[in-house]
Structure 1
Amino acid sequence: MIDAQILPTPIGPLSLLAREGVIVAAGFTPDPSQMFVRLSPQLQALGLDVVEDLGAPAEAVRAYLAGDLDALDEVPVEQPGSPTRRRLHQALREVKAGTTVSYAELAERAGMPRTAARAAGSACAQNLIAPFVPCHRVLPSTGGFGGYYYGVPVKEWLLEHEAS
C-alpha cells in the first residue's frame, strides 16, 4: 500500500506519498491521487490510502517549514529513472538550501558535461518528489525563475523561505 498524507503549508497543501517510510512522490496539491497517477504501474498496483500521519517524513516537512532547512535531506526517497536521471536527482539533493544552480551546473555536479543542461531540465520536469528533491533550486542561466511544475509563485516562495 502507498500511504499518503496531506500537510498544510504557507503555499498550499503538500501531498506526501510513501511506501514503507520511503517517499515515492510529493507535490504541492491537495489531492494525493494527482501524484499517485504519476507513479509506476507497479506502485499504483499497491493502492493508495490516505492516513493521518506518515511519521518521520511529515515531521521533516514541519521542521523545514519551521526553519530547519536541512530537515528534508535525511528523508529517504525513491523514484524511477535511468541511471542518468538518478544521478541528476542525487545531485539535486546535494544542492544546499539557500543556494541555487543553473541547469548546466547541475549536469556538471552529476558528472556530466555542462552541455547536458537539457537532460538536467528534463530530470527537473520529471521529478516526482518536490521539495525533497529540490528542483526549485535550479534556475536558468539566462535569468529569471524558469518554470516549476507547481507554479512559479511556489518556486519563489520556497527560494525566499530558504534565503531567510
Structure 2
Amino acid sequence: MNDAMKDLTRFPVDDADLARLRSRLADDAAASDILDVAYRTVDSPIGPLLLAATQKGLVRVAFDLEDFDTVLTALADKVSPRVLESRHRLDAVATELDEYFAGRRQEFDLPLDFAMSSGFRQDVQRYLPHIGYGQTQSYRQVAEGVGNPKAVRAVGTACATNPLPVVVPCHRVLRSDGSLGGYLGGLEAKSLLLELESTSGG
C-alpha cells in the first residue's frame, strides 16, 4: 500500500491531510506527464481569484462571480480534461499578484498561454500589456494600436472576454469619454485596480 492510500485509511481526515493528498496527487500527475492544467485559488483585494496554468504558462485568471466550477469546466473542454489543483505550480503567479496588489510590482514577468482566445481577440489581448502601469487608453486607441481603427466594438468584446484579467490589463481600457465601460470582474474591481495604480507611482 502506497503512502497516499495509507493516508486515506486514517480517520478522521482533516484539512491538512487533504491538502497533503492533493499536493501528492498533483506531484504524481506532473511526474507522470498527465497534468495539463494546474489550478489554485488566492485571496485578493478584489475577491478570490482562480489561477490556472499549462506547461506553456498562465492560461486563466478568473473572478469569483464567474463561478470557478464553470471556469474549470471550460478549461477542461477547451484546453484539456486533465485538470488538477496544484498550489505550488502557481506559486510564482500568486507571489507576483501579491506584489502587484501591494503596489510593489508594475509589470508581470510570467509566461502566458493564450489558448482560451484566438484571432482578433487574442491580438488585442496580446497588445494590452503595452499599456503602461497607471496609464489608460480608449477602446478606439487600442483598435488603432492593433492596426484596425474601425474595430472599436470588437476591442470591447476582446476586453470583456479577456481570460487573463489583472495580468493582461484590460482594466486600463476606458471609453472615449473617460468612463469605465464594462469589466468582467465588475466595475468596483476595475475602479479599485485603476485607483491602486494611480496611487502606487504609476
TM norm structure 2: 0.72
Identify the match of residue 23 of structure 1 among 48, 58, 65. 58
Instruction: Output the CA distance in 2 between the equivalents of 1:154 and 1:42.
Output: 27
Deviation per residue, 1:47-102 (Å, 9 max, x gap): 2x223331211111111112133242x21212233332222111111111101111
Instruction: Output the CA distance in 2 between the equivalents of 1:143 and 1:97.
Output: 17
Structure number with the higher helix fraction is: 2
Quickly say closer, same or farther: Cα 1:52–1:82, change in 2 above 3 A.
closer
Gaps of 5+ in 1: none
Identify the match of residue 130 of structure 2 among 94, 101, 104. 94
Asked if residue 76 in structure 1 is aligned to residue 111 in structure 2, the reply is yes
Identify the match of residue 121 of structure 1 among 128, 132, 156. 156
Instruction: Output the CA distance in 2 between the equivalents of 1:44 and 1:125.
Output: 23
Gaps of 5+ in 2: 1-34
> Quick check: 1:63–1:71 contact (8 Å CA) kept in 2?
no
Identify the match of residue 155 of structure 1 among 160, 171, 190. 190
Q: How many residues align?
A: 161
> Quick check: 2:54–2:113 contact (8 Å CA) kept in 1?
no
Instruction: Output the CA distance in 1 between the equivalents of 2:121 and 2:169.
Output: 14
Aligned to 2:145: 109
Aligned to 2:177: 142
Quickly say closer, same or farther: Cα 1:44–1:32, change in 2 above 3 A.
farther
> Quick check: 1:27–1:131 contact (8 Å CA) kept in 2?
no
Instruction: Output the CA distance in 2 between the equivalents of 1:119 and 1:98.
Output: 24
Instruction: Output the CA distance in 2 between the equivalents of 1:91 and 1:102.
Output: 13
* 2:171 maps to amino acid: H
Deviation per residue, 1:129-148 (Å, 9 max, x gap): 11111111111113321111
Following TM superposition, the consecutive aligned residue runs of length 4 or more in structure 1 with deviations greater than 6 angstroms are none
Larger RCO (CA within 8 A; separation ≥ 6): 1
Identify the match of residue 39 of structure 1 among 75, 94, 98. 75
Deviation per residue, 1:35-54 (Å, 9 max, x gap): 2233372414222x223331
Instruction: Output the CA distance in 1 between the equivalents of 2:71 and 2:135.
Output: 27
TM norm structure 1: 0.88
Asked if residue 55 in structure 1 is aligned to residue 91 in structure 2, the reply is yes
Counting aligned pairs with the same residue, the percent is: 34
Q: Which structure: larger Rg?
A: 2
Give the RMSD, CA atoms, in angstroms: 1.9
